[in-house]
Amino acid sequence: MTVATQAKPGLPSPGRGERTTVVLREYKRAIVQCLPETAVQMNEDGHVSVSPTAVVGEYEVRAGHKVGVLRYGDLEVRIVPKVPVTRLLYLATFHKNDDAWQQLETMLDDVDDPYSALAHALAFHAERALRPTPLQGYVTHERAEMLVRGRLLFDRQVASRAGVLLPAELRYDEYELGIAENRVLKAALRVVARYAEEPGIAARLRHLISQLDGVEPWVFGQPVPDFTFGRINERYRPAIALSRLVLERRSLDYPAERRPGTAFLFNMNKVFESYLESALRVAMRPLGGRIEGQHETTLDMADQIVMKPDITWWQGGRCRAVLDAKYKRATNDDYPNADAYQMLAYCTRLGLPRGYLVYVDLNGAEPGSDVIRNNGVEIVATSIDISRSVAELTSSVEHLAELVSAGASA
């Protein structure tokens, strides 16, 4: 992204019409100079916490578990993740096509802005998907036309036309660009292009959109279908994974359309939880059963205390394991007390002898477990270091799957 002024904490604000850009890392803080109404708006939006300092017009902005870009008029706040942005995108769009991500890690080596990385990644994978030309396929249409073709929908014709022969209510297949893959990709390209300011990437996104001219974009908010990829459409897989991320807002918070500012942020809590669920689903597939995310149940007999454990493993209608993804260090205000209480409640409700707290960082400690007094429930604390290479990540998840399987068999 192009900015007019790169502001450092404590330096004077630029003049009117220039953009001040403040860069801070996830869970870090910076001193920002801005108007009081901007500070209030940022704090109300809740993406960052804002508090005044002793200096008039200066505010301490603290980032939390969201990374990306916030814009409020001439102020831009970029929150940089602790992991490389390419790893962030890999986690948020987890799939098995690792080769393409290895290329991107080289391309985006110097990029630390998650939104810029997302724009570059989508452009890169969309160009691969649409090369040499976009895919075409048969699309079913149901509409009234003067030229009769395909199948006549008699019930609809009688109900809507009252005996009039033309136009005819028809269903027919047309070989065209408007397949679901192209519709989903075009919708995502348009969303990302809306916020792209870097001239080069903005031009690439516009060119890609023009290649899908005439394709009706996927309806925003409508679930993206689960595509079956094969020899013909395999090249679309990474682009569709990124498009799904953009359109379904699975791990994103954007844009604040009814607010003066705009935001395009990755929620790292959701990113880690989503990755762990998807990766475990792959790793535990040979063991049978199914992995469920956010399985809803209740703790009490009156069904008033609702609980949704992050990840559960089921076999034959029985829950075999429960895991909770914790995007934080094990040494925090919630560990071991609050985290242990939460897992004990899950195990009690699901009738399990053990549960797993999966952290991103054990802060130097070895994985361990605690046995609860009187009921013998074992709470296992382990970690998945998301800063590792893709191969090491895969190995860590496979080790976790073995741990869970062994625990269920004990």
Q: Is 382 left (phi over 0), alpha (psi -120 to 50) or beta?
A: beta
Q: What is the pLDDT of residue 45?
A: 84
Q: What is the pLDDT of residue 339?
A: 87
Q: Low-confidence residues of the chain, pLDDT below 70?
A: 1-17, 95-112, 145-146, 150, 153-154, 157-159, 161-165, 172, 249-263, 330-336, 362-366
Spans of all domains in the chain? 5-80, 85-134+179-248, 139-174, 269-409
Predicted TM-score (pTM) above 0.95: no
The Cα 369–Cα 372 span in angstroms is 10
- Which amino acid does the sequence have at 170? L
The pair of three-digit structure tokens given for residue 142, joined into one six-digit string = 């149901």
The pair of three-digit structure tokens given for residue 146, joined into one six-digit string = 């003067």
383 backbone dihedrals φ, ψ, rounded to 5°: -150, 160
Q: What is the pLDDT of residue 189?
A: 94
> Fold for domain 269-409?
Trna Endonuclease; Chain: A, domain 1 (3.40.1350)
DSSP string, 291-326: EEES--EESSTTS-SEE--SEEEEETTEEEEEEEEE
Q: pLDDT, tens digit, for every residue of 237-273? A: 888 888 888 887 655 655 444 445 566 788 888 889 9
The Cα 288–Cα 293 span in angstroms is 16
Helix (H) or strand (E) holding 52: strand 48-52
> Judging by beta carbons within 10 Å of its beta carbon (0-12, 13-18, 19+), is residue 69 exposed, middle or buried?
buried
Q: What is the pLDDT of residue 204?
A: 94
Q: pLDDT, tens digit, for every residue of 100-130? A: 555 555 555 556 677 777 888 889 889 999 9
268 and 259 in contact (C-beta within 8 Å)?
Answer: no
| Mutual angle of helices 85-92 and 268-283, in 10-degree steps | 60
